[in-house]
A and B are shown apart, each in its own frame.
Chain A
Amino acid sequence: MPNDHRTVPPPAPADAPHGATPEAVRERLAYLFRASLKQGSIHPLFHLIQQYRLEEHA
């Protein structure tokens, strides 16, 4: 069965409508890591890359 609940990919933060806001960063990362998040697990890189991106755009 096709997945009827597919989400539209959020843009890369640099291309987001309001720029690279923390919200745009979080949305894109949640999308990239959706496979592990759907399974209820936290990918070992998730927090590392989130911290890196948020510091970069701070």
Chain B
Amino acid sequence: MSPTALQPDAVHAKVRTLPALPQAVTELRTALQREDVAVDELATTISHDQALTAKTLRLANSSFYGVTGRVSSIRDAINILGLRTVATVATTAVVISSFDRTACTGFDFDGFWRHALATAFCAQELAAATRLDAEAAFSAGLMHDLGRLALATYFPLELGQTLHWAAEHDVHSLDAERLMLGIDHAAVGGLIADHWHFAPAISEAIRCHHELPAHKTITLADVVHVADNMTHALDLSGQAEDMVPPLSLASWQRVALTPQQVQRTFERTERQARSVRESLTA
């Protein structure tokens, strides 16, 4: 049934070839766990990585953060935006640049990033409404479909055939991946998250955003799952043939938004997604 099924070993081997996150990003994320953070030392470390500095400053100066043109150094960025936000910005910049525009037929690279960004903003809103870690939600939302980007980069022929089959049969690409490839993008994303040593909650959100674990209380995975659904429903990817995936009722009930929170999340997600995406993908 599945001429393009991937061998698990081949997938694992490709994930292992991904470069490690830059040391500056690793140090930044580690520093967030400590209370005695030496901001000056950290700023110096990041500043030594010129590519990372340039990407971080471009993003920090985007209209989303409301400080356009005022951030001229990493030290400024930390002072104005705060350490946690700079860590998110730097991680975002690095992840985006880790995967080049791919030659996979049927894979819409720009649409992919538009959806990823919208999901990140939506997840951040939902986390704020439900008192979860908003920065972690942003990161998890941004990277929730990373597995699909990896499939497009490393298995372009197989994913291309899968996307073609999904379009031809008008089924959700997740179902097509499982049927044709024998693995889905969430599972591949989970492998990458482990490879990059993401926080366990973020790894779980990436791995489980289509298949939620049976938790009694709300988790980051619930937030990303609902955010993913909302951004498809808001039609923010710009993809003509987009399709809203199934929503887990248990997850929706754990997120438990009021009508006012739903309205606010829709409004803010649309506004934020439109304001910043050019800065990120330029």
Interface check B230, CB cutoff 8 A: yes
Q: A45 touching B229 by the CB < 8 A rule?
A: yes
Nearest chain B CB to A42's CB is how many angstroms away? 11
Which residues of B (221-261) have their CB < 8 Å from a CB of A?
A: 229-230, 232-235, 238, 240-247, 249, 252
User: For B252, what are the chain A residues with a Cβ–Cβ distance below 8 Å?
Assistant: 44
Q: How many residues of B contact A (CB 8 A)?
A: 25
Q: B266 touching A35 by the CB < 8 A rule?
A: no
Nearest chain A CB to B158's CB is how many angstroms away? 19
Q: B247 touching A52 by the CB < 8 A rule?
A: no
User: For A29, what are the chain B residues with a Cβ–Cβ distance below 8 Å?
Assistant: 233
User: For B234, what are the chain A residues with a Cβ–Cβ distance below 8 Å?
Assistant: 49
Contact digits for B177-199, partner A, Cβ 8 Å, 1 yes 0 no: 00000000000000000000000
Which residues of A (20-35) have their CB < 8 Å from a CB of B?
A: 28-29, 32-35
User: For B171, what are the chain A residues with a Cβ–Cβ distance below 8 Å?
Assistant: 35
Q: A44 touching B240 by the CB < 8 A rule?
A: no
Which of A9, A34, A36 is B240 in contact with, Cβ under 8 Å?
A9
Secondary structure type dominating chain B contacts: loop
Known: A2-B168, A43-B247, A44-B252. A32 touches B266 (CB 8 A): no
Q: How many residues of A contact B (CB 8 A)?
A: 21
Nearest chain A CB to B66's CB is how many angstroms away? 24
Known: A49-B233, A49-B266. A35 touches B172 (CB 8 A): yes
Q: Which residue of B lies closest to A33 (CB)?
A: B244
Nearest chain A CB to B1's CB is how many angstroms away? 13
User: For B238, what are the chain A residues with a Cβ–Cβ distance below 8 Å?
Assistant: 12
CA–CA, A9 and B235, complex, Å: 12
Known: A3-B169, A43-B244. A28 touches B235 (CB 8 A): yes
Known: A2-B169, A3-B168, A48-B262. A35 touches B243 (CB 8 A): yes
User: For A46, what are the chain B residues with a Cβ–Cβ distance below 8 Å?
Assistant: 233
User: For A18, what are the chain B residues with a Cβ–Cβ distance below 8 Å?
Assistant: none
User: For A28, what are the chain B residues with a Cβ–Cβ distance below 8 Å?
Assistant: 235
Nearest chain A CB to B242's CB is how many angstroms away? 6
Which residues of B (262-281) have their CB < 8 Å from a CB of A?
A: 262-263, 266
Nearest chain B CB to A31's CB is how many angstroms away? 8
> Interface on B for A, CB 8 Å cutoff?
168-172, 229-230, 232-235, 238, 240-247, 249, 252, 262-263, 266
Given A32-B244, A35-B244, 6 more pairs with CB closer than 8 A: A28-B235, A29-B233, A33-B244, A43-B244, A43-B246, A43-B247
Could you pull out 14 A-B pairs where Cβ atoms are within 8 angstroms? A9-B241, A12-B235, A28-B235, A32-B233, A35-B244, A35-B245, A36-B244, A36-B246, A43-B244, A44-B247, A44-B252, A49-B266, A52-B263, A52-B266
